[in-house]
Amino acid sequence: MASEKRAKWIYWALTAPFVVTMLMASLMLLAGVAPNVEGITHLGYPVYICTILGTAKLLGGIAILQDRFRTLKEWAYAGYTFNLLGATASHAFSGDSFGKIITPVIILGMVLASYQQWKNAHVLQTKKEKQNERFHVIVPATEL
């Protein structure tokens, strides 16, 4: 029980900062905040990509915060991974400073650590459920 609780704490300590970061980025992209739009166009992308990225980041954040649809959550982690790898490459290829190149790498590290912790917590939960199954006794209705 303590290890399961600890795993959840670690998961949320890793997940909350990057999800908040991504949700804030999505809202700023959707709102067309000037520094964000300028950053996108500086990389050579058209302005309309802000709407696409903003929507994807918003939906990804919601998907990671929910716990009902596992596959959707997996896809959100994959989407954030592709987004951050693309951001890293875009900053590198456009000749940006090391600070702008390393920022998405750091966030990607948080995404991957969160994903790993989520998978570990799921393994603990599955073990607990299997352990509980051993103690269930099915009594036929005729014996009641």
Q: Write out the DSSP string of 1-59.
A: -HHHHHHHHHHHHHHHHHHHHHHHHHHHHHHT-HHHHHHHHHTT--TTHHHHHHHHHHH
The pair of three-digit structure tokens given for residue 40, joined into one six-digit string: 């996108």
pLDDT exceeding 90 applies to what percent of the chain?
Answer: 74
- Name the pLDDT band for 120 (thresholds 50, 70, 90): confident
User: pLDDT tens across 26-52, in order?
Assistant: 999 999 999 999 999 999 999 999 999
Q: Where are the domains of the chain?
A: 2-143
Q: CB under 8 Å to 120, separation ≥6 — which residues?
A: 7
Q: What percent of the chain has pLDDT over 70?
A: 85
